[in-house]
Amino acid sequence: MEGIRSKIFSAALLLALLASVLYVGRQVASYAAAARGEVGADKEKICVVIDAGHGGDDPGKVGINGANEKDINLQVAERVKGYLEANDIEVVMVRESDEGLYDPEAPNKKVQDMKRRIQIIDEASPALTVSIHQNSYPEEYVHGAQVFYYTGSTQGKRLAELVQDQLVERADPENKRQVKANDSYYLLKKTGVPIVIVECGFLSNSAEAEKLCTPEYQQRVAWAIHMGILQYLNENVK
């Protein structure tokens, strides 16, 4: 009798898992179809810019485990790109290798790098831009992904909220962080389209730093970011 109950329970669990997978699949298809408009082959693709922060001589934050932020940024950005392209979204990557956007002889490489990032975004004229980063803090206990938007930008705030909600739901349900406005980050101030900066986690937190270096967790974070993007496009791009 106990064996029969066990088999029934296992079958029920399998059905529940399949139902969950099908539900998520329908969500993605629904968001993507709505974002694309499904109005014919002559409609131009929606363009999204993904910016992997730092690169080249600029490692960004260095994790408690020795990991460089620039590498994790690019790995997550590439995964986001793949998920979006699978939904027929055109993706422009600000960088696709470990190189900064500056000339070797530039007197101020950081300034030149940031200006060229803005130039790439402006030339792409995207529906939105997402910049991928990792955070750090002097006290190790601090953790959790957080999304920043430009102060006063209604569209930026909405994009940030959607991405933040997805990051909590799909990557870290214990994360209590909320979206945050900012009026000092150069990229937020100078970009003319809705833009958010996604701090995927804290490299100063040992547990989170280790997770952020794994393909499995990077996939979860990237999937969450891409779902937030699709939701935003569904709401705002007609």
- Classified as helix, coil or strand, 92 is strand
Examine the pLDDT at 134 and tell me if it is beyond 50.
yes
**CA–CA separation, 93 vs 85, rounded Å?**
12
Token look-up 């990991």 returns 67
> Beta partners for 195?
129
Q: Which CATH class for the 2-236 domain? A: alpha beta
According to the model, what pLDDT value does residue 125 have? 97
According to the model, what pLDDT value does residue 14 have? 45
The tens digit of pLDDT for each residue in 43-53 reads: 689 999 999 99
Token look-up 């996604």 returns 198
Half-sphere exposure in the Cβ direction for 205 (13 Å, CA): 14
pLDDT band for 195, please (50, 70, 90 cuts): very high
Examine the pLDDT at 183 and tell me if it is beyond 70.
yes
The tens digit of pLDDT for each residue in 75-131 reads: 999 999 999 999 999 999 999 999 999 999 999 999 999 999 999 999 999 999 999
- CA 136 vs. chain centroid, Å, equals 17
According to the model, what pLDDT value does residue 26 have? 54
Examine the pLDDT at 32 and tell me if it is beyond 70.
no
**CA–CA separation, 15 vs 99, rounded Å?**
47
